[in-house]
């Protein structure tokens, strides 16, 4: 592997929980150390309340972000229970600055809500650490889910329901495939594909956006 190899990051929601799981798909390498420098946020004063009463399909996720992030920036962004394009652009700038301060390069988001990063001279293990550090430092660990997932699943339906329906609708699995089957098969990606060679791509597309029609 060389310094131009990349690591791709994919974010998945932990099924049956309001938490968020970060799943690394290591497609290559990276490397170096560094200290995160302070990143300017907003001149506005954040709400200092310990909790906030959110409403709507993602209320528990907003509440979790408010409490667990302990971040003034995150609270400023989510206090109106929505994330604007300008606010998301600020998250991306913070991610780029954080990665740069640690010797890596943030290369932007993919359609499925993942992102690509290049480690330059960093090791794979160190780049993995940098990713986690920057996600938490910038608030992306919470804001990323709240930006991408409501666009794809505005009613916050159980992921096993909407993804299994997508798999059936696109002819990737049999019509009798159930959400329970998805929960069983998803951890190992061992789906009973109807079309060999096409099923894996279809499953990835449904996971990226359950609304897709292939």
Residues of the domain holding 180: 157-214
In the predicted structure, residue 139 carries a pLDDT above the cut 90 = yes
Average pLDDT score over the chain: 80
Segment 48-104, tens digit of pLDDT: 567 788 999 999 999 999 999 999 999 999 999 999 999 999 999 999 999 999 999
Same-domain check for residues 29 and 99: yes
Same domain, residue pair 202 and 96: no
pTM of the model: 0.73
Which parts of 56-197 fold into alpha helices (H)?
A: 59-69, 72-78, 85-101, 124-138, 140-152, 159-169, 179-185
pLDDT tens per residue across span 170-193: 999 999 999 999 999 988 888 999
What was the pLDDT predicted at 19?
33
Question: Quick one: what percent of the chain has pLDDT higher than 90?
Answer: 58
Which residue is it, tokens 């910038």? 138
Structure tokens at 189: 């990606």
Q: Are residues 20 and 109 in the same domain?
A: yes
Per-residue confidence band for 7, with pLDDT thresholds at 50, 70 and 90: low
Q: DSSP of 113-150, one letter per residue?
A: S-EEEEEETB-HHHHHHHHHHHHHHHSHHHHHHHHHHH
Q: What is the mean pLDDT of residues 190-199?
A: 87
Beta strands at 105-109 and 6-13: parallel, antiparallel or unpaired: unpaired
Are residues 11 and 94 both part of a single domain?
A: yes
- Confirm whether 48 is domain-assigned: no
Alpha carbon distance 130, 22 (integer Å) = 13
């Amino acid at each position: 592997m060389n310094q131009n190899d990349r690591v791709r990051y994919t974010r998945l929601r932990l099924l049956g929980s309001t938490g968020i799981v970060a799943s690394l798909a290591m497609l290559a390498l990276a490397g170096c150390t560094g200290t995160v420098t302070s990143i300017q946020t907003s001149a506005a004063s954040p709400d200092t309340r310990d909790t906030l009463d959110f409403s709507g399909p993602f209320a528990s996720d907003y509440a979790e972000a408010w409490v667990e992030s302990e971040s003034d920036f995150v609270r400023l962004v989510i206090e109106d229970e929505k994330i604007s394009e300008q606010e998301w652009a600020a998250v991306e700038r913070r991610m780029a600055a954080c990665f740069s301060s640690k010797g890596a390069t943030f290369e932007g988001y993919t359609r499925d809500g993942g992102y690509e990063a290049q480690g330059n001279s960093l090791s794979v293990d160190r780049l993995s650490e940098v990713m986690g550090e920057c996600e938490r430092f910038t608030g992306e660990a919470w804001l990323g889910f709240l930006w991408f997932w409501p666009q794809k699943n505005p009613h916050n339906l159980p992921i096993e329901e909407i993804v299994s329906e997508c798999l059936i609708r696109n002819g990737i699995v049999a019509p009798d495939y159930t959400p329970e089957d998805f929960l069983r098969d998803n951890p190992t990606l061992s789906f009973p594909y109807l079309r060999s060679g096409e099923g894996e791509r279809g499953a990835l597309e449904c996971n990226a956006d359950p609304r897709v029609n292939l």
